[in-house]
Structure 1
Amino acid sequence: MPRDSEQPSLFGFEAAPRDKHLILMIYPDQQATAEAQRRARRYQLDNGLGGVIFDPDLMHITLGHFDYWDDVPASLIERISRAASKLSMAPFEVSFDQIGGFPKTVVLRGGEGLRALEAFQAALRQALAWEKLDGAHMNFTPHVTVVYGQPGEVVAAIEPVTWTVKDFALVISHHGKGRHEVLARYPLVG
C-alpha cells in the first residue's frame, strides 16, 4: 500500500513506517564506481567539505521510482517487469563530466554525455505509461550521488566518469538501512 503521510495514528500508536521503496535504476560498473569515489574525495578536499562518500555497492542512477510500501505487491512488480522487458535498446555509454551539488548531497552530473541516457529514460517512461503504471514518479535529472550530508555548492568540471550501460534493475531500497534488494535485471538488447 502506498505511503499515506496524512494517515493519523490509531489509538495513540504510530503506524510502522513503510520502508520499502521500489526503484528502477542503473548501477555503474566497478571501475566507474571507483572513479566516482576518487572524484568525490578530490571534490571534498578541494572545497573543504565533509559528508559521507556513498557506499560503492549502492551508487546508482535513478530512472524512476514508485511509492513506499510495507509489502510491495507482486502484481506491481509483474507489471513493471512486463513494461521493462518490452524495451528494445542497445547498450549505450554514459559520461558524467561535472561534480556539484543538490541540497544535502554532492552528485556527478553531465551534459552531452548523457543524451543516450535521457533517451533511454524517456522510452522507459513511455513503456510504463503503456502499462498504465500511474504510480511511477519519472521526473528525471540524470545524476549519481557520491556524497551525502553535505551540499556541494560549487559545480566543477572533472575528468569524465564513463561506462557502458548494459542493463538496468528493479530494486527494493530498504529506506534508511543502506540496503538494496535487486528483484530483476533487464539486459539492453537492440
Structure 2
Amino acid sequence: MSEQLSLPGFESVTSNFIRPTNVLRRVWPRHNVFFALLPSAEAGVEIARVAAQLSQSLGIGGKAVSVDRLHISLRGVGGYLDVPPPEVVRTARFIGDAVAASADAFDIVFDHAMSFRNAAAFVLCVGEGLEEVKALRFRLGLAIANAGGPNKANAFSPHMTLSYRGKVAQTHAIAPLRWTASTLALIDSHVGESHYEVMGSWSLRR
C-alpha cells in the first residue's frame, strides 16, 4: 500500500517502502544499504594522507580503507541477502531527493582520532559540524520512518573509518582537518568484497 511521505519543508513524495524481509535471523547480509556523506575527491586524498601519517606515527597498521570508500554513515536502509529490491532503491532515492533539496552543505572538522574496540576500527571523529551531521541524520531517519522503513534510535557518534583490525589506539588529538560536506549518497555495501556501489548521489545546497 502506498503511503504519503510528507515532511516539513519537503515536497510530498508517494512511495512504497519494502522492508528487508528477505534477511534471515543470524545470517549476515550480502548487501548493506545506507545513506552517507562523501568527501570530495580532493578532501578524500587529504584525509587518506593524514590517515597514513597517523597509522605510521601511532603504529596502527591494519587494513586501510581505500579513498573511494571513505564516508560518514548517516542512516541505514536495510540489509539484504540478495540485490536490494527495486522498490527499496526507488523509495530511498525519493528520500534522497527530498532531503537534499532542502539541506545546506556545511563544514566538518575532524579534531581527534581513536579506535572503536567493538569494531576494531580506527576512526576520525567529528568536532565542528557535529550538530549539522546529527540534524541531517535525523531528517533522513524521519523520512525513512514515514515511508515505512526502519528508524532505530541508536547511539550515534559521527566518524569516518580509516582502517580495520589494527592496533587499538586511545583518543588522540590531531591538527584540525576541515572539509565541506556537500554530497549525500545512497550506498550499497557489498559485504565482504570491499566494494561500495553508489546507487544515488545528491549535492547539498551551497
TM-score bracket for this pair, using the shorter chain length: 0.7 to 0.9
Q: Which amino acid aligns with 1:119?
A: A
User: Could you tell me which residue of structure 1 aligns to residue 105 of structure 2?
Assistant: 91
Q: Secondary structure at the match of 1:112?
A: coil
Residues 138 and 67 from structure 1, CA distance in 2 versus in 1: closer, same or farther, beyond 3 angstroms?
farther
Q: Which amino acid aligns with 2:84?
A: V
User: Could you tell me which residue of structure 2 aligns to residue 13 of structure 1?
Assistant: none
Residues 64 and 137 from structure 1, CA distance in 2 versus in 1: closer, same or farther, beyond 3 angstroms?
farther
- Determine if the alignment matches structure 1 residue 37 to structure 2 residue 53: no
- Determine if the alignment matches structure 1 residue 5 to structure 2 residue 16: no
- Which runs of at least 4 in structure 1 moved beyond 6 Å after TM superposition? none
| Percent of aligned pairs with the same amino acid | 27
Looking at structure 2, the residues matched to 97 and 20 of structure 1 have their Cα atoms a distance apart, in angstroms, of 32
User: Could you tell me which residue of structure 2 aligns to residue 59 of structure 1?
Assistant: 70
Deviation at 1:71, TM superposition (A): 2.1
Contact 1:96 1:161 (8 Å CA) reproduced: yes
User: Could you tell me which residue of structure 1 aligns to residue 164 of structure 2?
Assistant: 148
- Map residues 70-109 of structure 1 onto 2, 5 A cutoff: 70-87=82-99, 88-103=102-117, 104-109=120-125
User: Could you tell me which residue of structure 2 aligns to residue 19 of structure 1?
Assistant: 30
State the superposition RMSD in angstroms.
Answer: 2.1
- Determine if the alignment matches structure 1 residue 185 to structure 2 residue 205: no
Match of 2:81 among 66, 69, 76: 69
Q: Secondary structure at the match of 1:38?
A: helix
User: Could you tell me which residue of structure 1 aligns to residue 8 of structure 2?
Assistant: none
Unaligned runs of 5+ in 1: 8-16
Unaligned runs of 5+ in 2: 1-20
TM-score calculated relative to the size of structure 1 = 0.84
Contact 1:96 1:114 (8 Å CA) reproduced: no
Give aligned pairs, total: 180
Looking at structure 2, the residues matched to 6 and 101 of structure 1 have their Cα atoms a distance apart, in angstroms, of 26
TM-score calculated relative to the size of structure 2 = 0.78
Contact 1:32 1:161 (8 Å CA) reproduced: no
